[in-house]
Amino acid sequence: MSGKATIIEVGDHDVRVSNPDRIYFPELGATKLDLVEYYLAVSDGIVRALRERPCMLHRFPDGLAGEKVHQKRVPNGAPPWLETVRVKFPRYNRHADELCVTKPADVIWAVQMSTVEFHPWNSRRADTERPDEWRIDLDPMPDCPFGTVQRVAPVVREVLGELGMTGHPKTSGGKGLHVYVRITPQWGFSEVRRAALAFAREVERRAPADVTTTWWRKDRDPTSLFIDYNQNARDHTIASAYSVRGVPTATVSTPVTWDEIGDLDPRDFTIRTVPARFAALGDLHATIDDHAYSLDTLLEWADRDEKAGLVTPEEKSPDH
């Protein structure tokens, strides 16, 4: 039984939530309403993570047991207070009016539409073609333990520190770690991606036993940690801070401090545990917008590596 619809008051708006008792996460017995209540509990954080960004929705209309739908376009019939941003896809001569979150009610509307995961662009509505967020994705290969992530994270922090930058880490909701850095929105996706590759190569030089930047998956050591610089390519998205992941245990991509990375277990962060953590600590990414950094030094590193023949055609191309 999924139960009768319920009305949730979210700020100035009422959101009707249908089937509130439908089980979404079988291992926790968590329902659609539990998911709504989770996002309400972390509303300040999730809105900060999504604010003004085009956002792709990962929807599970029948819960995790059913099919996952990747939805870019806001459907007809959305409430008039819901905001969108138009993004274009020149290769296909198409466009999409994607969700543009500006308030908690937008998030709860998306959950009513069976959204579990929120995947925003790294650019904002003011100029969708110039990212203001550089994403460092520490992506473990299949046989790479989380201990490797824990060893490499301080190296990432060290290189950022030498660049005069502050990175904001979060768990991926899986086995990995993401670090977000605010940048001035003056470069296109290709240049941000070049800078991300140059940074990844520097981390690889300092931790060669653990890190790979090898492009082709088949050529990577399955025990290595891949720094996925391609997450900075246009229209590539990853789960935002505070996004629940579409897995039976309802893990959450959770902001963490650098100092706690060495001792944490990412499986501990779920919709059952993160609200209390948020209430106690607040949003650990609350200051992420305070400073935006230049990519000039990283682009100089990119020029150096390319001139030295260290970058393959696949790595150069933003289409990969």
Token reading at 231: 């997450």
The stretch 226-236 carries a mean pLDDT of 96
Token reading at 10: 């979210």
State yes or no: pLDDT of 210 exceeds 90: yes
C-alpha torsion sign, points 168, 171, 172, 175: positive
Average the pLDDT over each of 132-136, 160-164, 219-223, 312-316 and give the range with the smallest value: 312-316
Structure confidence at residue 319 (pLDDT): 55
DSSP letters of 111-154? HHTTEEEEEE-SSBTTBTTS-SEEEEEEEE-TT--HHHHHHHHH
| This prediction's pTM | 0.96
The stretch 68-95 carries a mean pLDDT of 94
- Residues 147 and 261: their CA atoms lie apart, in Å, by 10
The b-or-e profile of 3-41 (16+ CB within 10 A means b, else e) is eeeeebebeebebebebbebebbeeeebbbbbbbbbbbb
Structure confidence at residue 1 (pLDDT): 44
Domains delineated in the chain: 6-120 (3.90.920.10), 130-235+290-308 (3.90.920.10)
Which residue in 131, 113, 112 sits closest to 122, CA to CA? 131
Structure confidence at residue 2 (pLDDT): 57
The predicted-structure confidence for 282-304, as pLDDT tens digits, reads as follows 999 999 999 999 999 999 999 99
State yes or no: pLDDT of 320 exceeds 70: no
Structure confidence at residue 118 (pLDDT): 98
The predicted-structure confidence for 89-134, as pLDDT tens digits, reads as follows 988 899 999 999 999 999 999 999 999 999 999 999 999 999 999 9
**Between 310 and 300, residue with greater pLDDT:** 300
**C-alpha distances in angstroms, 260 versus 246, 255, 303?**
25, 11, 35
